[in-house]
Structure 1
Amino acid sequence: MNRTIAAVSAAVLSLTLAAGAAVAQDFRALAQQDLQAAHDALAANHPAAVVPGAAGDGFRAWIDAGLQDAQGRAGRVNSGDSHAYLLRYYANGFRDSNIAIRPTYEGLGPYFAIGWPGLTTAWRNGEYVVSYVKPGVRNLPPVGATLVRCGDKSAADLASDRLDRWEGDLTTEAGKVRTAPYLLWNRNNPFAGGVPSLCTFKVGRRDREFQMQPQPVDAASLEAAYRATVYMPPANPLSVETVDGRPWIHVHSFADSAGWDAFNAAIEAQAPAIRAAQGVVIDLRGANGAATNATARGYGLANRIWTPEFTVSRQPEAGSITYRATPGNRQWYAEALGRMQADPRFVQESGAVIEQTQALIAAFDSAIAAGQQTFTMPGRPSVPDTGAANPVAGKVVVLVDGGCSGGCLDTLDLLTRLPNVRLAGSTTAEDSIFIEPTVMRLPSNYAELSYGHKAWTTRTRGNDAPYVPAQGLAYTGNPTDETAVRAWVGTLFQ
């Protein structure tokens, strides 16, 4: 994002007009109010509060303790940015990928900082290494140097203080990858501090100290630094190309706006060639699967490549779903039913979904009337093997990274069950068993809380468990060097 635009977006939050005069917002009070509202909504409605098992342990341990922790920091909230950071801190403390508190206004974006030392670090192979140095800036460690410490804090402790919960969840591999560029940046987070002054890096075999001098901030340099560190999907996220004689199917987004109609048509037209090829790559790097229809799109892709007759018996069993019986959760389904019934086309084409939703609301009513905390609804059973032959002749490499999340992981649940499929790349994001988002506006009107309101307790993939490529299929090089990535993928077909 352009720095000027970001600065204006943040500044707008600092003032409101009242009776023609500019009146400063009390962001401390707003933060305290929003934190309490988020706590109360989660305590009242989130399944983890009452569903037994280890999946809810983190929720139950943080819901009250985290509120007290965050409220104790509220005295340092003095701006829209700090308000957003404190709410993110509380949400990320649940260690649940489907609990989030996001600004309702245009945020800072991935390329934002108000200060930086002219370099960026990446999380690679268990260490923070220099991934980018701004041309012309002298007396900095070279690309490839490993951060040892800044002042009296080790690199790990520094990351815990400056990044964990504030920028993401550092208990996960994907969280470390996504947040690493910001380790030495000043992102206008008063809880994390500015640019460190003195840091030690291992250069070759020697530890060397470097003075970190804040450099002028410009949007182009920050974007270049980030893109040299974390893989970013191309402008056209959906496409099919031929690489080394093999179909390379790009699926870097599950968003509605990605162009799925044209892409699906291209896959259907090229399906015979894809199936006959001696090797196929399905590239899911950076594929954020937060879109509502992401899972259906992923399954639809598999059906177009393999055929529905072949994939249907290999789809993971849906299993049973546990619902927390609260008026708030019931209201979510009642409102959804109202939208369905108001859409004539939906009524005509999806009457079964309407009936299922009506049955679910009736189950809520029965459970609430009986004083039950939860109730469980059965899922779709597995389908017996149809006996259909595998239409795909060659090996299939599915390429992933920490950007594969949400519905992308559901897609992997299917793809990894298909024959001759090898998962390669780096560790994916993780996905909570607490699914189907409720989104509510918090009292300040500057933030929204999102959380999963039902529990998929029988899911084969564990709670917040990522996919990790097996040894020999894990890429350890620079993920932003596309030439190197493609050359490495080519070796997997040898």
Structure 2
Amino acid sequence: MKRWSIFACAMFAFSQSAAAQDDAERWHQLTRGDVEAAYQQLIEDHPALSTAINDAELRARLETGRALALERAAQVSSIEGYAATMAGLANVVGDKHVWSRLVAPAHSVQWAGIITARQGERFVVLEHDNAGEGASLAGAALVSCDGVMADDFAAAKLGGFRAVWSIEAQRIQSAPFLLVDDGNPFVLRPQTCIFERDGQRTEHTLFWREIARTDLAPHIRRAQNRGAPGHGLRTFDGGMWISLQTLNDDALAVVAAARESQSRLRASPIVVVDMRGNGGGSSSYGDQIARVLFGDARFNHVIRGGARCNVVWRVSPRNVAQMRSYEERFRQSNPSFAGEMRRAVQRAEQAQAAGREFTGPTECPSRRAASGAPPAQTATGRIVLLTDNACFSSCLLVADNFRRLGALHVGQATDAATHYFEVREDPLPSGLSFFSTLQAFSPGSLARLGPFAPGAAYDGDMADTAALEGWIEEVVAAR
């Protein structure tokens, strides 16, 4: 009987082990399949990887990233490992428009009760939920974790999965996640970290515990140091203030208000265009406000006066299907855009019939503005552009235009993107996540748009509008 019990236990253990092996193999296959599908999506649809453009640097990064992702796939045994593998693959593209997104992310993560913020060149503790852990570490700078220096730890954990590490804005955005554990098995989960404050170093043992993502979110937002001005036009002590937090439909009313107040804006000693928190949308709203402030003559000379090179789409089957969907989707709500897409689809069909990869030329003369001196701006006062680290996508186009037109750029440095546009995400074969690509190319744009560094940098709280108003008045008065 005893021998039978031992045999039964052994068989149970074997069956459990076999089941675990089968489960692990399923994760390996599932992850490999999605890695290859995402890779093919980029190869077939991203403009940079076409024969006509053939961005060798991006192609090399993608091949290296694919090899690493397949290596990681062989180690994946959970949804967390899967998510990290796909995030790492997306990150090698070097443009936040390319992402991996889980269909159903976990409701909670682990954290050490510590939220760090990027301040200058350091990662500083902004918040410390230190119940039962002794003195608060708030204000202390992170020196190292488990013997790994803070910069190296952050570059591996955040720069490999969450951020393009060469862009300071993305270091700021990702810094609060440094001591948050989402289950990524390919990065360090430290046990002990060293912090420094007032020249004194403290070794701190981390106490990891669960926190709901919804509870974590407000801590993350505070540490990212962004503003949220909303939308509208108002006065302030120094002049007029235009709040433009997005470039979506909410911006329509701002454009209308700017046109109605054109005389007041042009006579104001200072006009601030506040784009804090702006992650993009349609740059046309920013262009319309720029025309109000700088005048059509200056805008046309500086922005429209050089070579006119249209955005062109890569005519892969999936990209063309997306173009057709835009035509249908906006037929009633935005007939002008729908008409533009209908003409783009016609060009795509002609390109396909002729064996061309794009709807138009992929080369453009380098000159961005007309020759000769531009006309003076119409506004008599100082135009000030205010940004924070959230400025991305179409916000970058608007920021570039305002800077070229002569606006004084203040606040924080912007994020950065590339000269590829029109993002689309597709479900991957596993059904666990989506993966995105870009579909169009702007031959007249800079290869990397941003980051744009302000002429006057603000190192305070970007959410404190009252303090920013006074500071901007001082900056303008000093110039």
Structure 2-normalised TM-score? 0.82
- The aligned counterpart of 2:62 is 63
**How far off is 1:275 after superposition?**
1.9
**How far off is 1:115 after superposition?**
2.2
Task: Return closer, same or farther for 1:285/1:384 CA change in 2, 3 Å cut-off.
Answer: same
- The aligned counterpart of 1:13 is none
Q: Deviations over 1:92-113 (max 9, x none)?
A: 11213332222345x56xxx75
Task: Return closer, same or farther for 1:448/1:352 CA change in 2, 3 Å cut-off.
Answer: closer
**How far off is 1:475 after superposition?**
1.8
Q: Distance in 2 between matches of 1:64 and 1:387?
A: 45
Code of the residue aligned with 2:420 in structure 1: it is: F
Task: State the secondary structure of the residue aligned to 2:246.
Answer: coil
Task: State the secondary structure of the residue aligned to 2:195.
Answer: strand
Indicate yes or no: 2:479 matched with 1:493: no
- The aligned counterpart of 2:301 is 313
Q: Deviations over 1:112-164 (max 9, x none)?
A: 75222222111121211112223756535543321110111000111123212
Task: State the secondary structure of the residue aligned to 1:405.
Answer: coil
- The aligned counterpart of 2:205 is 211
Task: Return closer, same or farther for 1:188/1:448 CA change in 2, 3 Å cut-off.
Answer: same
**Equivalence map 1:69-108=2 (5 Å):** 69-105=68-104, 107=105
**How far off is 1:351 after superposition?**
5.0
- The aligned counterpart of 2:245 is 252
Rg larger in structure: 2
**How far off is 1:288 after superposition?**
0.5
C-alpha RMSD over aligned residues:
3.5
- The aligned counterpart of 2:259 is 268
Instruction: Tell me which of 405, 423, 436 is aligned to 1:418.
Output: 405
Q: Distance in 2 between matches of 1:251 and 1:77?
A: 43
Q: Distance in 1 between matches of 2:354 and 2:378?
A: 47
Structure 2 stretches lacking a partner, 5+ long: 1-22
**How far off is 1:174 after superposition?**
1.5
- The aligned counterpart of 1:463 is 448
Code of the residue aligned with 1:147 in structure 2: it is: L
Q: Distance in 2 between matches of 1:244 and 1:103?
A: 47
- The aligned counterpart of 2:234 is 241
Task: Return closer, same or farther for 1:386/1:336 CA change in 2, 3 Å cut-off.
Answer: farther
Instruction: Tell me which of 363, 371, 395 is aligned to 2:382.
Output: 395
Task: Return closer, same or farther for 1:186/1:483 CA change in 2, 3 Å cut-off.
Answer: farther
Structure 1 stretches lacking a partner, 5+ long: 1-22
Instruction: Judge conservation of contact 2:112–2:180 (CA < 8 Å) in 1.
Output: yes
**How far off is 1:324 after superposition?**
4.9
Task: Return closer, same or farther for 1:203/1:480 CA change in 2, 3 Å cut-off.
Answer: farther
Q: Which moved more, 1:78-87 or 1:424-433?
A: 78-87
Task: Return closer, same or farther for 1:24/1:150 CA change in 2, 3 Å cut-off.
Answer: closer
Q: Distance in 1 between matches of 2:426 and 2:61?
A: 20
Identity percentage over the alignment? 23
Indicate yes or no: 2:479 matched with 1:479: no
Q: Deviations over 1:429-486 (max 9, x none)?
A: 1111122224332212332222222333442x3325311123xx12233434545444
Instruction: Tell me which of 273, 278, 286 is aligned to 1:282.
Output: 273
**How far off is 1:30 after superposition?**
2.7
Instruction: Judge conservation of contact 1:437–1:452 (CA < 8 Å) in 2.
Output: yes
